[in-house]
Every structure is written in C-alpha cells, then in structure tokens.
C-alpha cells in the first residue's frame, strides 16, 4: 500500500519536538474552533431590566410563547386584562437602549427577541401591530 508506506515514512522522520508542535497546533486550532463555534451557536442579547422575569428563566425559555398566546386570547376574546404576561411588559423590561439612551426595538438585529429567534429560525409577526419598544416620552426641553 502506497499510503501506509508514505505514512510510515513520515512517522519515522518526525522527531518528538515536531510532534509537540503538531499536537500544540492541533489543540490551539481546536480551541479556536470551539470559540468560533460558540459564537455562532449561542444567541447573544442584551440583559433585561428588573429583578427577575415574570416566570423562572428556564420556564420562560421553554414556554414564553404559550404565556403570550394565552394572554392574548384572554384579552382579545374574553376582555380580561392582566399585566403578568402582557406583551407590553416584555418590551418594557427587554428593550435595550442605544448609546444616545433611546430605546431600540426588541425585534431589531441583535436585540432580545430577534437574536434568539434568528438563532432558532422562528418568525413572529407580532410587531407589525404591537410596539417593539417602550413608549418614549420625548423631552421638550433643549
Ligand atoms: C393584526 C394585528 C396584530 C398582530 C399581528 C398581533 N396582535 Fe396581539 N393584539 C392585537 C390587538 C388589536 C390586541 C388588543 C388590544 C390590546 O390589548 O393591545 C392585541 C392583544 C394582544 C395581547 C394582550 C394584551 C397584552 O399585551 O397583554 C397579547 C399578549 C398579544 N396581543 C400578543 C401578540 C403576539 C405574541 C403576537 C405575535 C404572535 C401578536 N399579538 C400579533 C393585534 C395584533
Ligand atoms: C420585570 C421585568 C421583566 C418582564 C416584565 C419580563 N421579563 Fe423576561 N426576563 C427578565 C429578567 C431580569 C430575565 C433574566 C435574564 C436577563 O437578565 O436577561 C428575563 C429572562 C427572560 C427569558 C430568558 C432569556 C435567557 O437568558 O435565555 C425570556 C425568554 C424572557 N425573559 C421572555 C420574556 C417575555 C416573553 C416576557 C413577557 C411575557 C418577559 N420576559 C417579561 C425581566 C423581565
Ligand atoms: C431564549 C431564546 C428566546 C428569546 C429571548 C425569545 N424567544 Fe420567542 N421563541 C423562542 C423559540 C426557540 C421559539 C420556538 C419554540 C417552538 O416553536 O417550539 C419561540 C417562539 C415564539 C413565539 C411563537 C411563534 C409561533 O410561530 O408560534 C412567539 C410569539 C415568541 N417566541 C415571542 C417572543 C417575544 C415577544 C420575545 C421577546 C420579548 C421572545 N419571543 C424572546 C426563543 C426565544
């Protein structure tokens, strides 16, 4: 076999120092790859305001849309308005501010709802009707 012959030849010619280099480069490459992979595989979003979410975080990660849909049905069909799972509340706590102190829409690139949904390939149309940032009071003073 030409391949085994070549490999054997290569093995014989490598010194221990050479192996150290090969292994080190391999390890560093691996670490670099893991870093790059972690960057694309985890949604990054600004942290929220407020002490805590409306439900425990692990529950929110899994079920937030169930709460929202339930809340919507309660409000739209039954006229019951409760603040707990209100979409307005989500926006109030989860909208970030830009360097000028203005609110950024939660569905803008890299923002809370958008970044996670982009990662999970989820599309929502909620913000064609609902405000994607807290209502801002515009200051009249100069
Ligand atoms: C076609 C416009 C429209 C779209 C699209 C829409 N909504 Fe609504 N939604 C409304 C209207 C109108 C109300 C009732 C008025 C109100 O309470 O603001 C409402 C009420 C709600 C409420 C109850 C009020 C509150 O904030 O607690 C929730 C929750 C809600 N919608 C969530 C959603 C979610 C989540 C989506 C996306 C999956 C969505 N809506 C998409 C129009 C829309
Ligand atoms: C009183 C402020 C507040 C409100 C209202 C609120 N949240 Fe949160 N939320 C938080 C905090 C604080 C965390 C913890 C993580 C952080 O600091 O970003 C969190 C975490 C989350 C997470 C998990 C994020 C992660 O790290 O994986 C999701 C999803 C979430 N919220 C969705 C919602 C939705 C949807 C609503 C509206 C139904 C909502 N939140 C309302 C403050 C709030
Ligand atoms: C921690 C990641 C994460 C964050 C942050 C997040 N979502 Fe989601 N969201 C998901 C995932 C994953 C799904 C799809 C779950 C499924 O289909 O099983 C989803 C689904 C939804 C759905 C249902 C979509 C459908 O077609 O049924 C709505 C509505 C929704 N999210 C609203 C929001 C809103 C509003 C915010 C910001 C306040 C938000 N989400 C923040 C991960 C997130």
Ligand 1: centre distance to CA 27 (Å): 51
> Are 110 and 45 in contact, with CB atoms under 8 Å apart?
yes
Q: How far is CA 129 from CA 61, 125, 126, in A?
A: 23, 8, 6
> Mind listing the pLDDT tens digit for each residue in 80-137?
999 999 999 999 999 999 999 999 999 999 999 999 999 999 999 999 999 999 986 5
Local confidence band at 42 (pLDDT 50, 70, 90 cut-offs): confident
pLDDT tens string 1-39: 555 655 565 556 555 555 454 445 555 555 554 544 444
Write the CA distances from 53 to 89, 125, 140, integer angstroms: 10, 23, 33
Predicted confidence at residue 48, as pLDDT, reads 95
CB 57 within 8 A of CB 94: no
Higher-scoring residue by pLDDT: 62, 31 = 62
Q: Is 107 in the pocket of ligand 1 (CB under 6 A)?
A: no
Residue minimizing CA distance to atom 38 of ligand 1: 126
Cβ neighbours of 105 (radius 10 Å): 17
Q: How far is residue 122's CA from residue 53's CA, in Å, rounded to a whole number?
A: 21
Q: 128 CB under 6 A from ligand 1?
A: yes
Burial of 97 (0-12, 13-18, 19+ CB in 10 A): middle
For residue 125 and ligand 1, the question of a CB distance below 6 A is answered with yes
**Residue boundaries of the structural domains of the chain:** 2-41, 57-128
Q: How far is the CA of 121 from the centre of ligand 3 (A)?
A: 10
Q: Mutation test of ligand 2: which of 44, 45, 60, 118 has the most ligand atoms closer than 8 Å to its C-beta?
A: 60
């Amino acid at each position: 076999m030409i391949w085994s012959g070549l490999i054997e030849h290569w093995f014989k010619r490598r010194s221990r120092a050479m192996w150290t280099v090969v292994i080190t480069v391999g390890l560093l490459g691996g670490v670099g790859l893991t870093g790059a992979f972690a960057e694309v595989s985890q949604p990054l979003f600004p942290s929220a305001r407020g002490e805590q979410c409306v439900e425990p975080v692990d529950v929110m990660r899994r079920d937030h849309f169930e709460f929202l849909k339930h809340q919507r049905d309660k409000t739209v069909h039954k006229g019951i308005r409760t603040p707990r799972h209100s979409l307005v509340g989500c926006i109030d706590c989860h909208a970030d501010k830009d360097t000028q102190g203005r609110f950024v829409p939660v569905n803008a690139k890299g923002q809370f709802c958008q970044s996670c949904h982009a990662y999970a390939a989820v599309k929502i149309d909620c913000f064609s009707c609902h405000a994607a940032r807290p209502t801002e009071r515009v200051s009249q003073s100069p």
